[in-house]
Chain A
């Protein structure tokens, strides 16, 4: 099993709909979880961090964490074409190493 696993996509979502991005991780002792957005040819940009079970909302973005099931997700409401990018999930393992997933390419259809 990969340490941090994401569906590579592309995930195509109509404009205005909810985009749902998922990430699973293998280290049950992981404590911190992050979502980054990376536009083509650009560097990753932090969107959300989440540390405890449940939901965390910031504007159109909601991060969801379920440690028992070892998954973290990112919901993007009212998707816009500008949301088209690759979304990277990052997990801080119990040994303090940060591991990134390969990312999911999201395409918002106008």
Chain B
């Protein structure tokens, strides 16, 4: 595997379900990110992890719970979601948190539909 991978690629879940999104980066990067991309809206940064420590949480509802067990893996745990949470969820990684190394590499995304 190369780059940033995400599973599953598509997910349909009911509002009462619990599911998890997985991201893995094979680039040796130190920082990982979760983004939400909805139609006609800019990319929204949700969480940032640097060396497995959460360094940013942009007022994301608690029904989204991130987990970063090591610098290569990132999870997004989902529970009791709402239909408006339907979107493309993108994972990204970058070499570090320094501004000079903020170039981010994105995974293919998980298309989430909440019914």
Contact = CB atoms under 8 A, between A and B. Distances in A.
Contact of A32 (B41, B56, B100): B100
B8 to A, nearest CB: 15
B42 A101 contact: yes
Interface string A6-46: 00000000000000000000000001101010000011111
Interface in B66-115: 88, 90, 97, 99-100, 102-109
Contacts of A51: 99-100
Given A44-B90, A97-B45, A102-B41, A92 B102 contact: yes
A4 interface: yes
Interface residues of A, number: 23
A93 to B, nearest CB: 10
B43 A44 contact: yes
Interface string A92-106: 100011111111000
B56 A97 contact: yes
Given A51-B100, A97-B56, A88 B43 contact: yes
B42 to A, nearest CB: 5
Interface string B8-43: 000000000000000000000000000000001111
Interface of B: 40-43, 45, 56, 88, 90, 97, 99-100, 102-109
Interface of A: 4, 31-32, 34, 36, 42-46, 49, 51, 88, 90, 92, 96-103
Given A45-B106, A92-B102, A96-B99, 8 more contacts: A32-B100, A43-B108, A44-B43, A90-B43, A96-B97, A97-B56, A98-B45, A100-B42
